[in-house]
Amino acid sequence: HKMARKSRRNNNIIEKKQEMMTPEIITGPQLETGVYARLSVEKDNEETIQTQIEMLHQYVEEHGEYHLVDTYVDNGYTGTDFDRPGFIRMMEDVRTGKIQCIIVKDLSRFGRNYLEVGDYLEQIFPFLGVRFISISDHYDSIDYRGKSSDIEVQFKGLIADFYVKDQSVKVKAAVGTKRKNGEYCCGSAPYGYRINPENK
């Protein structure tokens, strides 16, 4: 008899504990979401493509309104144009309705061409009904629906564009200096020639 009473008591404790452990159920529809990561070959810091992807996945997990459908990656691709396999695949999924939301780490990961990024944010995504989120920039297109674009976002896009132009000038200057010093600066040597050890 005592054993039975003890057993019932333990069962009640277990049931209460299970109720406490049950996660909160998120109500409401979830947005079919794709996360996009890009890293250029010229990147030279501690960030890797993997850390960027992990950050995006963590963000989705922490916000129950998103349902992760796919991860789109362009590793070693410049942001100056949109001719990237991961980006192209993502846009195909947008057009077919597979995803309704895109999340990026920051705007420069999405692209560094100021005018084209602006076209996507202001015209293409609103037309396709796509929500766009840039985590580091604290940008969410739903906050600007029906309003003029955020001036801070425009400036960040402009800065990213200037960064690319500045890098281009620096690279050209470095090549010009090598040329003046008589150093070889044309990549691989033409067929039948070889670069001598002095690099002249």
Residue 111's closest CA among 144, 142, 86, 138? 86
**CB contact burial 18-48 (16+ within 10 A = b; e otherwise):** eeeeeeeeeeeeebbbbbbbbbbeeeeeeee
Q: Is 4 exposed, middle or buried (0-12, 13-18, 19+ CB in 10 A)?
A: exposed
Residue range 65-102, pLDDT digits in tens: 999 999 999 999 988 889 999 999 999 999 999 999 99
The whole-angstrom separation of Cα 156 and Cα 139 is 11
Q: Which residue has the tokens 């992990």?
A: 54
Residue range 22-66, pLDDT digits in tens: 444 444 589 999 999 999 875 545 678 999 999 999 999 999 999
